[in-house]
Each structure stands twice: as structure tokens, then as C-alpha cells.
Structure 1
Amino acid sequence: MRYSLAAPSRFQLEIRKSRFLAQAAPVADEAAARAFIASHRAADASHNSWAWKIAAQYRSSDDGEPAGSAGRPILAAIEHFAGDQLVVLVSRWYGGIPLGMGGLIRAYGGCASQCLQAGQRQPLQHLLQLTCQLEHAVHAHLLGRLPSLQVQVLQQDYQAEGVRLLLQLPAEQRNALQQLLDSLSRGQSTLREL
């Protein structure tokens, strides 16, 4: 199970006179993650390090900190949270006392982790993509019943022998959709997972 946040979250920490502010938010895509980072950067901070993860895509930035000391620990905190569709920005105001590589890793990763833990965890719905081949007559009847099962039609290919559909739906609705399809097509159409 993957998780996001129900709402944005913040957490502040001070370590050896350096102040860290972590801000996390749910995001739907890379553009939303980049927009969050741009709008929440602290202009007066020494560094604004960040990471985001959306499905198999992820990015991170150390923003001038030693390589691997900020962005990667933030990303590791997201992964430890079992996070997805999340962005975390950690701003640091340097306090004059060097933290060293290990200290930076602990500070950035710990602040990001505590920020995520402080937020309200929200399970993400697991979606399936399925295809099916239908006769034209069955197609019209099926389309009207799909919204009640939270099924989204991604693509329809009309052919001489029928219609091929590409569907996306919550995993828990798969059996109900197959039963509906069996009923309408008299067992002639089956769902295939991609």
C-alpha cells in the first residue's frame, strides 16, 4: 500500500544553531511538485533542498549542500513513509556551526521524516488498467453503467466486429465489472489486465 498526505504538513527543527523547516504536500504530477517547490522556497534560506516521488518518477536536489547530503535523505524519508504523489521541501538557515556530512544527512532526512509523520497519512487507491472486446450492442449498455463502478474509459477503438475498450478502475471494482460484463455479454467478453 502506498500513501500520500491528506493535506500539506510542516515541521521545524533546530540543530546546532541551524534552523530546518520541512514542508510536505500531496501532488498529482511533476508540474504540481515543481510549482509547490517554487512557491514555498524560502528566499532568505541558505539552502532549499527537496525531493518528490510520483509513481516510478522521482527527483531530488541538494541545492548547494554537499552531494547526497540533502536531496537523497529527503527522498529516503518519502520511501520509508511508503509515500507516493508527494513532494517535500526542506529549507535550511545556516547557524554558523558545520554539521558534517553525517549530520546533514540526519538533519535533512530526519526533518523530512518527522514532517511526513506529523501529517495525516492517506492511502492511495490502487488502479488497474484493463482491456476488453465487446459487440457493438453490448458497448452502449456497458458505457451507461461504468460510472457506478468508478470505471474510467481511457480509449475506445471501433472495429467491424465490435469495440475494444481500455479501462481504468479501482482494483476492488474488478470483480463487479467482470460480473457486469458477463451479464451483458452472456459470458462472451472477458477483462485482460495490462
Structure 2
Amino acid sequence: MFKGSGYLNLILSWVSMSFTILETVAYEEDIKKSRFQTFAIPVETEEDVKNILDDYKDTSTTHQCWAWKIGHNIRFNDDGEPSGTAGRPILATIEGNELTNILVLVNRWYGGVKLGTGGLVRAYGGTAGKALLLVEKIELVEKIEVCFECNFSEWPILQYELLQQDIIFTEEYHANGVGVVAKIQVHQKDTLAQKIQDITRGRERLKGLDDD
């Protein structure tokens, strides 16, 4: 039975939600003498991906194949495996689990038995899928980068406010005061903007990084 517009809005709200993973998980499996080691890792930016791939670089592996998705952006890499047998199946597993802001890396140590293209697809996609069975999914909260200025005397109060709201920030001290760049959840914007106006008596305002 049709429940009315409120029910429809609830459905649309649920459909529009995006999910990522809470923390890194690992899974390992031997398949026909090859060892497959999978890591599912939450990421927010392409720079995060680059840094993680650098950190997880392992020259002892035969192949390090991966896929990531951040919003609508996707990338995958077969790292020497036959085209379409590694990175793409990993990506398909990410999308099949309706996840975003995630990197899945699968290391392979070749054990001497060839798997064939079908076997490789099943191995990479399968171990990625088993790793994702272990993750805790969380709703992805949209974040935006903002900035503001304040006097030295005002900074301790505003710094306390940022810490209380678990907001990640960087500050830069200059001759006339403090410049702050922060990454906040969208719902925090109005409260923080009002706090800055109150503390600076309307002299300063919260800005987006792209604002003039």
C-alpha cells in the first residue's frame, strides 16, 4: 500500500546514502599454491591512495593488483596479470558491495601453478569479496574544506571548539594572527560559522577554500 510522500522521501533518502568502511581489514588465502593477501582500506582522496600504495609496496610479491573508488572516480591496476583478470574484478566487488571511498589491494605470490584467466578473475574477485565480508560498513558523511582567520587572543577559544567537534585542522601563524584550514562535516558548517562570527564580533567569517 502507498504510504504517502513521507514514506517516499524516506526511501529516497535511504537510496541516496553512500557507505564506506570503518577501518582497514585483511584477508589471506592460498589458491592452487599461490598466496593471495587482501587489504581493504578506507580512503578520502587520491593522495591518500598514493600514500597507501607507497606504504604497502612489497617487492617480494609477484603482483600487487588494486582498485579504488572515491565518489564517481575509479581506478584499477592489473600489475602484470592478463588484462581484465585482476583490477577489474576487484573493482566489480567494490561496486557490488555498494561501497565508495575505499581501496582494495590484493597481493599475489605465485606458487608455480597457472590459474588461467577465469581462475585469476575468480581468485582476485573472490579474495576481495571475502575481505569485504569482514568490514564494518558506515554511512559516508560528506565533508568540505573551509578556512578562517582570527586574532591570537581568539584562537584558543576557536581551537577548543574545533577539538570538541573532532574537526581535523591545520593552523598557520602570521604577523596579524592565525589562519586555519579545516575539514568539516556539512552539518557542522552553520554552527562553526556562527561561533567564528560571535568570537570575532563579526569581523571574520567561515569561507570555503574556493571562495574569493
TM-score, normalising length: structure 1: 0.66
Is the Cα contact below 8 Å between 2:68 and 2:103 reproduced in 1? yes
Matched, 1:189 2:204: yes
Given candidates 20, 24, 38, the residue that maps to 1:3 is 20
Secondary structure (helix, strand or coil) at the match of 1:118 reads coil
Equivalences for 1:45-194 in 2 at 5 Å? 47-53=62-68, 55=70, 60-81=76-97, 82-91=99-108, 93=111, 95=113, 99-100=116-117, 104-123=120-139, 126-134=142-150, 138-139=154-155, 141-156=157-172, 158=174, 164-194=179-209
3-state SS of paired residue (1:146): helix
1:33 aligns with 2:48: no
Q: Which residue of 2 aligns with 1:24?
A: 39
The 2-side partners of 1:52 and 1:99 are apart by 21
Q: Is the 8 A contact 1:11 1:114 kept in 2?
A: no
1:163 positional shift: 5.1
TM-score (norm 2): 0.62
CA-CA distance at 1:89 after TM superposition: 0.9
More off after superposition, 23-32 vs 50-59: 50-59
Q: 1:38 to 1:78 in 2, by over 3 A?
A: farther
1 CA distance for matches of 2:149 and 2:55?
41
Moved more, 179-188 or 21-30: 21-30
Q: How many residues align?
A: 184
Closer, same or farther: CA 137–5 of 1 in aligned 2, 3 Å: closer
Cα displacement string for residues 139-183 of structure 1 (whole angstroms, at most 9, x for unaligned residues): 4542343311223432436465x6543222333432321231232
Q: Once superposed, what is the RMSD of the aligned Cα atoms? A: 3.8
